[in-house]
Structure 1
Amino acid sequence: MANSSQKKIAHENTKILLALRKGFIWVNAFYIFYRIIYQWNTFELKLALGYLVSAGISILLYTQINTMGKPRYNSKGELADAGEDLTQEGLVQYAFDIIYVTWFVHVTSAFWPKMWWFYLSIPLYAGWKVWQLVVKPMLSRSGAGAASDAASESTEGTKSRRREKMENRAEKGPQVRYR
């Protein structure tokens, strides 16, 4: 069973893609039948544009996820490529999150049109992540780096024994210890 991990990934990806496809069908069918057909008299142009843009974004993300995670089989019916693991963290999970937020907005905005404002949570979260992962470390590094440079210049020639030991250990590299 040398290929069992690939088979497991292919099976999980197939289940995830099937659930995603069913979710698209149910959520969009609900929105179309309830909000557009049943409540046609309150359906406005801005709601139609919001629905079309958000559905387009989620369909685009779904096609990307589908092409990445869809297993491929050779002519004999054997698994040739399991596709990318859709359960890994990273950009694929963010695409899933955007799809789920879109579904939430579609379902809730069918009852209350002001729920379209919840769609702003996506760029707000992206901005927060950029702040946490990029901007904040750069700001703290520039402030801490300048302070440490000034401190090292003032105490140039005086190193503590502890610091010397740590530098010597770092030069030697990692040591393997046995018990």
Structure 2
Amino acid sequence: MAGKSSKKQAQANLQALKQLYTILGAVGALVLLRLVFSSRRRWFWITLLHIPAAGCVYMLEKNGRPKYDAAGHIVREGMDLNQKGLTEWLFDIVYLSLLADSGLVLFNSLKLWYIFLLVPVYFGYKIKGFAGPMLGGMNNAKAPAPSASAPATTKSKRQEKREKQGDKVRYKYK
């Protein structure tokens, strides 16, 4: 039973990396086939545009691949590739790159790579939601101002009863 969680995470990581490389291989082969029949200038742009995705794949591989010893036991299971946060963003950048590659394959155009302009916008939106309360004042503008004409809050029967009995000293003796 010991190490069952580590084994499960290692298997899940291997499965996620296998799926990622399968998709990358299929789309990459189609892109290379398309580039063989296109101009030389596109090779430079495709290489340049794939640098962020290559960096993300490298980080996912380096941190997510489990390490085994000579006997086949898990030394390190790798970080969980199914977690939310930065890992999810790395996968998103790789998948956006594959989406842009599909535009190259289907339409022989690099214009679908403009979708990467939305990444900083999305990143700013996520950071604002995360860091906004810590910076103070950013979310306070949305809160409604208390008005003087607002009715006083009514108390429940239980609260009234506790307040009424709160001043009495109650002792129970046998």
With the length of structure 1 as denominator, give the TM-score of the two structures: 0.70
Once the two structures are TM-superposed, the CA of residue 143 in structure 1 deviates from its matched residue by: 5.4
Q: What is the aligned partner in structure 1 of residue 121 from structure 2?
A: 124
Q: What is the aligned partner in structure 1 of residue 13 from structure 2?
A: 13
Q: What is the aligned partner in structure 1 of residue 23 from structure 2?
A: 23
Q: Which has more helix, going by share of residues?
A: 1
Asked if structure 1 preserves the Cα contact closer than 8 Å seen for 2:66 and 2:77, the reply is yes
- Relative distance call for 1:106 and 1:63 in structure 2 (3 A) is same
Which one of the candidate residues 94, 103, 106 is aligned to 1:108? Answer: 103
How many residues in Structure 1 have an aligned counterpart in Structure 2?
A: 147
Helix, strand or coil for the counterpart of 2:138?
Answer: helix
Is structure 2 residue 62 aligned with structure 1 residue 67?
Answer: yes
Using the alignment, how far apart are the partners of 1:141 and 1:115 within structure 2? 35
Which one of the candidate residues 126, 138, 141 is aligned to 1:140? Answer: 138
With the length of structure 2 as denominator, give the TM-score of the two structures: 0.71
Asked if structure 1 preserves the Cα contact closer than 8 Å seen for 2:27 and 2:101, the reply is yes
Is structure 2 residue 92 aligned with structure 1 residue 94?
Answer: no
Provide the alpha-carbon RMSD of the alignment: 2.8
Give unmatched runs, 5+ long, in structure 2: 147-154, 156-174
Amino acid at match of 2:13: N
Using the alignment, how far apart are the partners of 1:16 and 1:54 within structure 2? 24
Once the two structures are TM-superposed, the CA of residue 49 in structure 1 deviates from its matched residue by: 3.6
Using the alignment, how far apart are the partners of 2:3 and 2:12 within structure 1? 14
- Relative distance call for 1:123 and 1:18 in structure 2 (3 A) is same
Using the alignment, how far apart are the partners of 2:11 and 2:51 within structure 1? 27
Mean CA deviation greater in 95-104 or 117-126: 117-126
Rg: which structure is higher? Answer: 2
Once the two structures are TM-superposed, the CA of residue 142 in structure 1 deviates from its matched residue by: 6.3
Using the alignment, how far apart are the partners of 1:32 and 1:121 within structure 2? 26
Once the two structures are TM-superposed, the CA of residue 53 in structure 1 deviates from its matched residue by: 2.1
Using the alignment, how far apart are the partners of 1:37 and 1:44 within structure 2? 9
Give unmatched runs, 5+ long, in structure 1: 149-161, 163-179
Q: Report sequence identity in percent.
A: 23
Using the alignment, how far apart are the partners of 2:4 and 2:88 within structure 1? 24
Once the two structures are TM-superposed, the CA of residue 92 in structure 1 deviates from its matched residue by: 0.7
Alignment of 1:30-41 (within 5 A): 30-34=30-34, 36-38=35-37, 40=38
Once the two structures are TM-superposed, the CA of residue 44 in structure 1 deviates from its matched residue by: 6.4
